[in-house]
Amino acid sequence: MLVTNALLRGGIPFVIMNIIALILYSQGKYADAKGTFVASLIALFVGAATVIYNIEHWTLAKKSGIHFIVMLVTIYPILLLSGWFTINSVFDAFKVFLLFIFVGIILWSVLYTLTQFFSR
């Protein structure tokens, strides 16, 4: 069940965004197509990883930790290879890592707050 949910949550936006990327590519908009493809990869992994929070017998800390590790080994490398950031040194990669951490904390906090608010 979790695998099916992960495939649906990540796969549907991945397929839709790749159709858009193919259309952009066919129109000669190569940079836009690449950016859309990269975003589709991010949507795939982020969407699929949300099933971690459906594992009821895990604590929030464990869910969050596992989710962070999954994002670190999938999203962070995608960001480094995306071409969205200039990476000329280890320090540049570290700056992207700090941005990854900052955005992750903000998103986790907002989504946690919304979940708490709407689960009342």
26-60 pLDDT per residue, tens: 999 999 999 999 999 999 999 999 999 999 999 99
pTM of the model: 0.90
Residue 6's contacts (CB-CB under 8 Å, 6 or more residues apart) are 47, 48, 49, 50, 51
**Helix (H, G, I), strand (E, B), or coil: what is residue 119?**
coil
Residues 94, 106: Cα–Cα separation, whole Å: 18
Which residues of the chain register pLDDT less than 70?
Answer: none
The separation between the first and the last C-alpha atoms of the chain, rounded to the nearest angstrom, is 26
